[in-house]
Structures are given as structure tokens and as C-alpha cells.
Structure 1
Amino acid sequence: MIATSVLRTASHTALRRSVPGLAYAATTRGALFTPGLGGASRRHISTTKQADQKVSSPHNQESSPTEHLTRHDAVSTVPEKVHGDWVLFHPVYSPEELKAVEVLHRETKTLGDKLAHGLVILARKIFDLVSGYKHIEGPPDPGMTIAELRKAGYLLSDKQWLNRILFLESIAGVPGMVAATLRHLQSLRLMRRDSGWIHTCLEEAENERMHLMTFMTLRQPSIFFRAMVLGAQGVFYNLFFLSYIISPRTAHRFVGHLEEEAVLTYTRAIHELEAGKIPEWTGHPAPEIAIDYWRLRPDAKLLDVLYAVRSDETTHRFVNHSLANLNPATDVNPFALREPNMLVKGTKIEFDREEAEQYVRESHKIIQRPHQMSDSH
């Protein structure tokens, strides 16, 4: 059983004061960050490349407040694109981490596990049927062209891949926000600390939303597609809301299995793109929003984006399966301060409760170390 008092002490210590010596924690949380960022706060680490640039806006104009409003050619003084500190913490991956991801599956153990996994499998089969997707390791005729494979339903076209990704990402951003909302309200209602769960759930929700924003730059959905998303989102939000109230652990397990399927989907997309089966994406430059968000190389390609998104989904897989092993009413979120790098998350499906406890203890020691060193001087 997790020593709750020790874990709460770790969480309260970290949340009560800034951590000037978080270089090690930042390096191990999520990914190896850009060299030179060690020791920066989590908020600073999550900024974009142009975070230090001054953004021109009505709030920092030196001229008269009404000058732009009275000009005959005035349209707007609000910048079309906002750069700066606008996203929550998210990992940035090294090349080694991007290639370390494995397709894993957690075996079901309890009735709740079986229910969660069964619902995910059912949802995937329904979506595959609706989208006309078939995955067969080898086509019936090795000599079939890409056009023939697509017509027979063995391969998705670039538009079908985007429709599939856009729909999935529009739904994937729901669980984190629902969990964060319910835990936030619970904290207010019970008038006690949340032990670090809320911001991890919010980070997951925003990360999934950024996936959607990235792929939206490649394709604008039709009105019919948007209507489908609207309906699915409304149904799923309310169902997950009720499920989380009844059993948070089962809800997190459901998301863990859902992310297993997401990792599998992006792995297949990567393999097909590398095999030349999605020629429209071969050599396609990465969207600017992706380069900024994941700090990719300026000449990054869409393939690099798929690798980064798959790593994000792997993080969600690991985090949600681990949270499902904890007592949501008493246990501290082991990822409130840092996360393992992808060399761990990509090859390990979860932390059990004892491993989570040990991880929090290690985080507590890392936080205390710089203060102990300063006290000795």
C-alpha cells in the first residue's frame, strides 16, 4: 500500500515552492529536452521557440490607444498568429526515444479491466466498419498497385487516413478534460488538495487537442464530418463523465486501452508511409505548428510528426494504465513532478502501485537535493 503521508509530503513540497534544481527532473520527465533548458521551470520548458520574442498587441503599443481605431484603413491590431507561452507542459523527444516505442497490450485482470478493454475493442470495430478500414498483413495479390489496394479496402488513402485521425483526435481530447473537471470540482467541494492529478489530466487533454490542430492544417473537414464529431463528442463526453463518477480507475483503464489502439494506428501509418504506400505524404513538410510544438527540425517532414504523435499516445498509454492502478481518493499522482523518458514508457506498459510509490519517493529526493546543497553552503 502506498505510504500516503510520504507521497503527499512530496506533492505538497513541490507544489508549495518553485524548484530551481529541476534539471534532472525535466530531463527525465517525458523526454530529453533541448540542451540548456535544464533547471528551467516547467512552464518555461513548455514554451515555443519564439517565447522570448515580444508579441505585438494592443497591450504593448506605445501609441495612443485610439490611434488604430480612428485610422480609416484600420482593420485589427490583434496579431493573426500568437507566439509565446501558450501551451502546458509536454514532452519533446530525442531521436532515440521516437524509435523506442513498442506496440504493447496490458492483459486484463479484473472485471473492470475486461469491461474497459471490451468497450475499446467494440468501438474500434465499429469505427473500422464505418470507415471501411481493413488491416491485412499481406494483400491477396503481391502485385496489386496502391490504387488497387485502396479500391479493395486494404489500404487507406491520404484523405481516409486524415479523416480517421481527425475523428479519433477530436474524441481523444475528451477524457483528460472530463477527469480534470471532476477532480477540480471534487477538490473545491471537499476543500482539499488534489495530489497532482488535475494538471496531468489537463496536459493530456491539451496534447490531444494539439494533435487535432496539427492535422487540421492538412485537411479541412466537411460539414457532415463536423456534424458527426459534434454528435460523437456529445455522447462520449456524457458517457465518460458518468463512468468517471462511478469508477475513476475503470475510466483510466479504458483510456489506457484506447491509447494502445492509438499507438497501433500511428505505428501502422508510419510503416505504410515508410513503405511508400501513402505517396501523397512522402517528403511532405511538417506543419509549422508541429515544428513549433514538438521543437522539430526546420526541415522536418510529416513522418517526423507521426513519430512525435505516436510518442505522445505512448505517454498517455503509460500514464493512464498507471493511474488506473492507484487509489484515486488517496494516492498521489506519480507524474505530477516528472515522467520517465520514452525509453521507459515505450517499452513498459505501466507502473504498478509499488513502483509508483518508489517513483514519487525518488522525485521527492530530487527536489530536496538542491535545497540540501544550498543549506550546506
Structure 2
Amino acid sequence: MNSRLTTSLVLQILRHGRSSALCFSTAFSSQVIVRRSGTIGRRSILGVDAWERSFGSAAPELAKADADADAAEKETSIAETVNREVGSRPDTGAVVSSYWGIRPSKITKEDGTVWPWNCFRPSDTYTADLSIDLTKHHVPKTFLDKVAYRTVKFLRVPTDIFFQRRYGCRAMMLETVAAVPGMVGGMLLHLQSLRRFEYSGGWIKALLEEAENERMHLMTMVEIVEPKWYERLLVLAVQGVFFNVYFVLYLLSPKLAHRVVGYLEEEAIHSYTEFLKDLDSGAIPNVPAPAIAIDYWRLPKDARLKDVVLVIRADEAHHRDVNHFASDLRYQGRELKEAPAPIGFH
């Protein structure tokens, strides 16, 4: 019976249009199958794209729903227009873009100018600690320490052969690798916390912040050095291999994994120190600092490339200390959650 009433109702709508539809009792409206059509603001009945609002007392509610849908369609259109028209800021050259068609919220700096980045917020910025000890070295003591140290020294050989003294390209490649361990460690600790129903002592956040910080190093270096096609291909190969190797290594021995990262950071400090020597000698031009670096590290407006390398080197020294500390905790048989992660991981 219900099927017959529905069929009769649809036929009346098709024959007589809206006036006939409104003559039916609202009791029959619940029998009508309504679905959204592909166009925002329109409705369909059983595949017919000529839906005329609704019946009886349901009309005001559907009219309001259609009005809301029209407004949503208009906002989406505006967001897409903004996304297409957004470009480079002439004052800094910084690119402002939306993500997934979502219009970015307007944020201003302390001086009242518009914040040009949506990949990080003013709260993520900081001033690097340049007073950190750059000469600190963890002397290998255990067998695993020696394995980690020798592995990192071995990996440095092909890097020196390929890049030689092109420290801009070397730094770019280094950061694509350095951003992997924090993400892998944070992810695995996150899953461990879920499995064991226990806290992480802040180490999940600390390691993910390390990964994000290293990624910002890369975003800065890409502004300075434009990688060639074969260097991009090399990044794909190295990252694909390193991610999987480090993932397995962290599962087998987190202590060894953190020790490897600690020694990698020591090598990064050495590379950036050589980078600074070439900047001082004039072998590498001391160009103006990229806009993203000035905002991320709160550098002066007239900062140069040397200032950027100094703050990045300080970050690497901090990552060195934290990873060696994490490895020592594992060596002592203590979980990372038993010792709170360092505050202000940058």
C-alpha cells in the first residue's frame, strides 16, 4: 500500500507540478524517498531532478535548508576563488595558500602586518639558543654505541664524495633524512601508548616536534638551493630506504636508533660548521635570509644566510643532546615515560 501511495504521489508531481503536490496530506510525505542531487541547493525524488520544495507543513523547513545550502555553495565558491587568486606577497615574496579549499584564517604579526604562513603559526616560532655547546661528543662505550658511530661515519663517505663542498645541497639532503627519525619514533611511541594504556612522558610530542623542526630546516634550504632533478631522485631513493630501515631498527632497539640519530646530529653540526667557513671566506654568497626563516626563528629583517645557518646548527646541537639522552635512558633499562622529555624541544 505504501508503495502505491508513493508512486501515485510522484505521478501527480510530474503531471501537475507544485500546486498538485501541496494538495496531498503531509502524512504521505514520509513515504517519499528524498536524496541530495549532485548540485548544491537542489533535491531529487527517486532520481527526478525537479523536486519542488515539499508538502504542507514541511515546506518552511525545506525552504530554510535550501537557503542554507545556497549560502554554503556561495561560501565554497568564494573560498575557491581566494584559493585561485592567492599568490606571492610583494613585500616578502612569501607564498600564502589555502589548504583543501579552506580559506585560511587571518593572523597578524606583532607589528600589525598579515602573517604570511599557514604551515606554521606565530606560536610555533622561537629564538634559537646559540650558546649551546657545539663541541660535545658522546664517546662510544658499549658495543651498540660503536656500531652506531661506525655506521654514521661510513655513511658520511659517499656523502662527501657526492656533494664535496656544496654544503647547500648537502644540507638539503641531510634534512630530508633528519626529519624521518622523529616521525618514526613519535609514531611508534604513540602506538605503544595506545596498546599499553599509559602516558608517554611527553616524548611523543617531543619527537614529533623534532621532525617538524627538521622539516622547517628543509623548507628553508629549498628556498636557498634549488635541487636538480637527479638530486630529487636521490632524495626519493634515500628516504625510501632510510625510513624502512630506521622503522625496523626502532622496533628492534630504540636505544641504538636514538644513538644513531645522536651521531647523525653530530655530523650535521660538523657540516654546518664547514658551511659557515665557506660563507666567511666568500666561497658561498651570504645572500639575504629567506622570509620563512626570518619569521620562524624571529630573525631581524636584514638577516643573512649566515644567521640562518647559525640557528639551524644550534637546533641540530639540541637534537643531538636529546637523542643521546634518550639512548642513555634505554641503556639504563628505563622507559622514556619515566623521564620527562625536555621542555622546548627546539
TM-score category, normalised to shorter length:
0.5 to 0.7
Change (3 A) 1:295 1:115: same
User: What residue is the counterpart of 2:244 in the other structure?
Assistant: 238
Matched, 1:174 2:177: no
Moved more, 265-274 or 329-338: 329-338
- Shift, 1:330, TM fit: 5.7
- Shift, 1:230, TM fit: 0.7
Change (3 A) 1:187 1:226: same
- Work out the CA distance in 2 between the residues paired with 1:192 and 1:307: 38
From 331, 338, 341, the equivalent of 1:332 is 338
Amino acid at match of 1:274: D
User: What residue is the counterpart of 1:92 in the other structure?
Assistant: 127
Matched, 1:162 2:168: yes
Asked if the contact 2:126–2:298 (Cα under 8 Å) also holds between the matched residues in 1, the reply is: no
- Of Structure 1 and Structure 2, the greater helix share is in 2
User: What residue is the counterpart of 2:140 in the other structure?
Assistant: 108
User: Could you report, residue by residue, the CA deviation over 1:62-98 in whole angstroms, capped at 9, with x for unpaired residues?
Assistant: x954447668x946368534536835856523xxx42
- Work out the CA distance in 2 between the residues paired with 1:322 and 1:302: 31
User: What residue is the counterpart of 1:250 in the other structure?
Assistant: 256
- Work out the CA distance in 1 between the residues paired with 2:229 and 2:295: 29
- Work out the CA distance in 1 between the residues paired with 2:210 and 2:77: 44
User: What residue is the counterpart of 2:159 in the other structure?
Assistant: 127
- Work out the CA distance in 1 between the residues paired with 2:269 and 2:195: 36
- Shift, 1:172, TM fit: 0.6
Please list every run of 5 or more consecutive structure 1 residues that lacks an aligned counterpart in the other structure: 1-62, 134-155, 342-377
Change (3 A) 1:70 1:199: closer
- Shift, 1:333, TM fit: 4.0
Amino acid at match of 2:280: E
From 207, 220, 232, the equivalent of 1:201 is 207
Change (3 A) 1:196 1:70: closer
Change (3 A) 1:193 1:164: same
Give 1:2-21 correspondences, 5 Å limit: none
Please give the secondary structure, in 2, of the residue aligned with 1:103.
Answer: coil
Give 1:1-377 correspondences, 5 Å limit: 65-67=72-74, 74=81, 76=83, 79=86, 80-81=96-97, 83=117, 86=120, 91-93=126-128, 97-98=129-130, 100-131=132-163, 133=164, 156=165, 160-278=166-284, 281-282=285-286, 284-327=287-330, 329=335, 331-338=337-344
Structure having the higher Rg: 2
- Shift, 1:218, TM fit: 1.8
Asked if the contact 1:90–1:207 (Cα under 8 Å) also holds between the matched residues in 2, the reply is: no
- Work out the CA distance in 2 between the residues paired with 1:291 and 1:181: 30
- Shift, 1:195, TM fit: 1.7
- Shift, 1:190, TM fit: 1.5
- Shift, 1:101, TM fit: 4.0
Asked if the contact 1:113–1:253 (Cα under 8 Å) also holds between the matched residues in 2, the reply is: yes
User: Could you report, residue by residue, the CA deviation over 1:220-259 in whole angstroms, capped at 9, with x for unpaired residues?
Assistant: 3222211111111011011101111111111111100110
Please give the secondary structure, in 2, of the residue aligned with 1:98.
Answer: coil
Change (3 A) 1:101 1:90: farther
Please give the secondary structure, in 1, of the residue aligned with 2:224.
Answer: coil
- Work out the CA distance in 2 between the residues paired with 1:69 and 1:334: 45
Q: Report % sequence identity.
A: 40
Asked if the contact 1:183–1:194 (Cα under 8 Å) also holds between the matched residues in 2, the reply is: yes
Asked if the contact 1:105–1:260 (Cα under 8 Å) also holds between the matched residues in 2, the reply is: yes
Asked if the contact 1:196–1:332 (Cα under 8 Å) also holds between the matched residues in 2, the reply is: no
- Work out the CA distance in 1 between the residues paired with 2:336 and 2:275: 40
- Shift, 1:338, TM fit: 4.8
Please give the secondary structure, in 2, of the residue aligned with 1:173.
Answer: helix
* Length-normalised TM-score, structure 2: 0.65
- Work out the CA distance in 1 between the residues paired with 2:159 and 2:119: 36
- Work out the CA distance in 2 between the residues paired with 1:200 and 1:69: 37
Moved more, 230-239 or 321-330: 321-330
Please list every run of 5 or more consecutive structure 2 residues that lacks an aligned counterpart in the other structure: 1-69, 87-95, 98-115
Aligned length: 245
Asked if the contact 2:125–2:295 (Cα under 8 Å) also holds between the matched residues in 1, the reply is: no
